[in-house]
Chain A
Amino acid sequence: MKKSWWKALCIVMLLYTIIGGLLINVPRKAILNESIRNIYFHVPLWFGMMALCGASVFHSIRFLRKPDLVSDIKATSYASTGIVFGILGIITGAVWANYTWGKAWSNDIKQIGAAIALLIYAAYFVLRNSIPDIDKRARVGAVYNIFAFVMLLPALWIIPRMMESLHPGGMGNPGADPRDMDARMRMIFWPAAVPGFILLGVWISTVITRLRKIEDKNLLHA
């Protein structure tokens, strides 16, 4: 294992999130009850997805500036981990919604936006796999990835701010409304939950990247 300080930091942050997130007191709110603790696990998945997709598009732009297949491998690794985070975010959101909003899927604008964003990223991989030529695949994939990331912004950030939503902070800040969390919750959410999940995603992505580098060794040194 490649030892890094940030991997240890990731483990500590996530353990603190799980233990503190379940045990430290939270505001008492009707309907939500104890399920308010899901904020520590459901919301950081989306922060993680956005960070990972950001890292992915960063490497795609780097590929377009200087064609290097390693950048392409990194872009796809981050994108695939980001999609996994997004799918987990949708599933955890559906479970939570089932017990608080009454239905697992109520066509809430953020649910739809998240589903659209995931489908756009799914198309990224479909598009890539439909192009047999490696260099062309990398280039078209990089261009599409920029489009996909640009579509992610309105789907997750802009449209939910403009529409009525069941999510907290509709017509306002949909990600982390300061009114939903008190000081105790913020002490877990910002310093541990969000960076912890992002680091976990980065960790998984780097492992995928290293594996793909070995798999595609012949192509990289050709």
Chain B
Amino acid sequence: MHNSFAKKLLLAGLLFTFGRFGEAQEKVEMADGLRSSGKIYVVVAVLAIAFIGLLLFLISIDRKVSRLEKKENQK
């Protein structure tokens, strides 16, 4: 359930921002080249995966503690 939800959210985020790049160039150097070649999405994907992984880890610890709590209450 978590995975499909995360995918939908990622997709929504990508759609929301796709129409925005390539706006007027100024002198200040930004990651426009990176973005136009699409590679920024690699970084976004990596960060999102790392974050989702950490969250799954936290959820699994949360679950383990819940199991432990149940066991303790049964004693």
Q: Which of B16-75 contact A (CB under 8 A)?
A: 16-17, 20-21, 23, 26, 28-31, 40, 43-44, 47-48, 51-52, 55, 58-59, 61-63, 65-66, 68-69, 72
Contact with B along A95-108 (1 / 0, CB 8 A): 00000000000000
Would you give the shortest CB distance from A86 to chain B, in whole angstroms? 18
Q: Which residues of B contact A222 (CB under 8 A)?
A: none
Q: A11-B55, A210-B69 are in contact. Are A22 and B43 (CB under 8 A)?
A: yes
A30 at the interface (CB under 8 A from B): yes
Which residue in chain B gives the minimum CB-CB distance to A204? Answer: B58
A19 to B23, CA, bound (A): 19
A1-59, CB < 8 A from B: 1-2, 11-12, 14-16, 18-20, 22-25, 28-30, 33-34
Decide if the interface of chain B is mainly helix, strand, loop or mixed. helix
Question: With a CB–CB cut-off of 8 A, which chain B residues contact A217?
Answer: 72
B17 near A24: Cβ-Cβ < 8 Å: yes
The residues of B that contact A11 with a CB separation of less than 8 Å are 2, 55
A30 to B27, CA, bound (A): 9
The answer to whether B31 and A34 have CB atoms under 8 Å apart is yes
Q: Please, which residues of chain B bring their CB within 8 A of the CB of A214?
A: 65, 68-69, 72
Residue of B nearest to A34 (CB): B31
Q: Does A211 interact with chain B (Cβ within 8 Å)? A: yes
A30-B28 contact, Cβ under 8 Å, with A12-B9, A25-B20? yes
Residues on A with beta carbons closer than 8 Å to the beta carbon of B52: 15
Q: Across the interface, name the chain A residue whose C-beta is closest to B61.
A: A207
Chain A residues with CB under 8 Å of B9's CB are 12, 15-16, 19
Instruction: Write the residues of chain A forming the contact surface with B, with a CB cutoff of 8 angstroms.
Output: 1-2, 11-12, 14-16, 18-20, 22-25, 28-30, 33-34, 203-204, 207, 210-211, 214, 217
* A-B contacts, 9 listed (Cβ < 8 Å): A15-B10, A19-B10, A19-B14, A22-B43, A24-B17, A33-B29, A34-B31, A203-B62, A217-B72
